[in-house]
Structure formats: structure tokens, C-alpha cells
Amino acid sequence: MTSREWFEKAQKENFAIGAFNVDNLEIFKGILMAAKNKNSPVMVEYKIPILLNLDHSKTVEDCRAAINQPGFDEVHFDGSSLDLEENVKSAKEVVSAAHSKGIIVEGEMDRLGGSSEVHEEQVDEAVIRQSYSDPKRAARFVEETGIDIFAAVFGNVHGTFPTQPDLDMALLTQIKGVLPDTFISLHGGSGIPAEQVKEAIKAGIVKVNINTELRIAYKDALVEKLGENPKEYKVYSFSPEISLAISAVVENKIDIFGSAGKV
């Protein structure tokens, strides 16, 4: 199945595909283990479908580089730092190049706050709200660019915070209402309570990006193993345990997203 067919299936059957960021081999192995155990597609071939995605690419050139080499199922052009007109112009270029190769395109109009870290300070919700996606602008952006997936901002942020902001489900419903034929993604999925993620999927989300929680699991597992073996310098010997820790997180997310058993 193609990436488009998988997202169509997700939309029809009311589940979401996890898009898990890969920092290193242990994380990659952990994602594969979880996907195989849960019989679930993931976005990142093994014996389960893996959709390879270029995430948060800031330039048309980087997107073209991915499009012109084998393997990529999706490219994500993040023009949120550009003014709307320049973002539209660049996204259209990416869409034209990608669609000619059968690759789908995710576009980003609004800048997502935070970073993929564990933040100790509270999130400034007033600042976050300034970046919320406007449904009318979103409809124009999608119509003028022809993107396949719209990266919506409705309370989601990169990273985890002491108190995670609530998702604005009413806004998500409005966005989906003006984009009935466009896939909607949720970036900054780490730290969001499971029930809110499930509600967002019911409202139309078909792709959820996870990064920070994988990094937390990696660090915690490594610190634990080093604590148990302070004189061990072959730290690569901890790789299997680290991958298992990653796998546990991914399996939990797959259950939340409802994608288990969809292969």
C-alpha cells in the first residue's frame, strides 16, 4: 500500500499512524520491534509497512533531494517561518516535484512552539495561542498549494512541559470541516494525555508525531544501565535493553492511536 492509501485507510477506520522520529539505531530498532509486535504500520521494509518521511524540511532544495532519491513516501515542507505568500510559493514547488514521483506532501503554515526537549518551565499558553491555525487561512493554504497533509496547530507543542496545554478540539473540528478531503497531522504528540489524542483522532487526525518521549526512554534506559554497570565502557552492549525500552513506549502509542492489527 502507498502512503496515501494508508492515510485513507486510517481516516476511514478512525485510527492514526505514528510518525516516530529516529535519532539513532537503537531507537529505530525499538520502533520496528513495537510495530512488528503490534502488527501496526508506522511512519519512519521489515515485515510491517514503514513509511519513510522527511520531517520538518525548511527548504525546497532539501525536499527535492529526498524526492529524487529512492525510498521516501512523504516529504514535510515546513515553511512556517516564511510569510504566507512565500510559504505557498515554495510549497507548490515541492508538491509539483513530489506528486510527479507519487510522493505525498505535508505542509506547515503555523509555527509550532517549543522544542523536542523536557522543559522545566511552564508553557506560555497565551503565546501558544498566537500560533493556532486559522481555518480560513488553512483552507486557502491547502487550496493554493495542493498539499496532501496539513500540520495543524491547536494546542500542540514540541516537547514535554510540567503541565501540558490542552488541545482545542473545537478548533480541530473547524479545521477538519473546511478541509474534508485533506489529511490532518498532529505534531508535538509527546506528553499529550491519551484521551485527548484519541479524541483528536476521532476528530480527523491520521498522523501523530512522537519524538521527545522516545528520547526520554532512551536516556532513562541508558542511565539505568550505566548505574548498574559503572565500570562498563562497551556501552553499545546496552543497545538491546535500550531498544526494548523504546519499543515499550512505541507499543503504548500504537495502542492509543488504534493502529494495532491494521496490517
Q: What is the pLDDT of residues 58-110, one digit of tens each?
A: 999 999 999 998 889 999 999 999 999 999 999 999 999 999 999 999 999 99
Spatial distance between the Cα atoms of 144 and 157, rounded to a whole number of angstroms: 26
Spatial distance between the Cα atoms of 236 and 187, rounded to a whole number of angstroms: 31
Residue 101 lies in a domain: yes
Residue 86 annotated as part of some ligand binding site: no
Range of the domain at 81: 3-257
Which amino acid does the sequence have at 103? Answer: I
Residue 188 annotated as part of some ligand binding site: yes
Spatial distance between the Cα atoms of 5 and 82, rounded to a whole number of angstroms: 31
Residue 2 annotated as part of some ligand binding site: no
Band of pLDDT at residue 112, cut at 50, 70 and 90: confident
Residue 232 lies in a domain: yes
Q: Is 124 a catalytic residue?
A: no
Residue 212 annotated as part of some ligand binding site: yes
- Of 26, 19, 30, the closest CA to residue 52 belongs to 19
Tell me: pLDDT of 47 over 70.
Answer: no
Residue 193 lies in a domain: yes
Tell me: pLDDT of 46 over 90.
Answer: no
**Choosing from 23, 55, 124, 181, which is the catalytic residue?**
55
Residue 115 lies in a domain: yes
Residue 190 lies in a domain: yes
For the chain, the domain total comes to 1
Claim: this prediction has a pTM higher than 0.95: no
Residue 187 annotated as part of some ligand binding site: yes
Residue 112 lies in a domain: yes
Can you read off the three cell numbers belonging to residue 258?
488504534
CATH code of the domain covering residue 167: 3.20.20.70
Residue 262 lies in a domain: no
CA atoms within 13 A on the CB side of 47: 6
Q: Could you report the per-residue pLDDT of 170-191, keeping only the tens digit for each?
A: 999 999 999 999 999 999 999 9
Tell me: pLDDT of 49 over 80.
Answer: no
Residue 108 annotated as part of some ligand binding site: yes
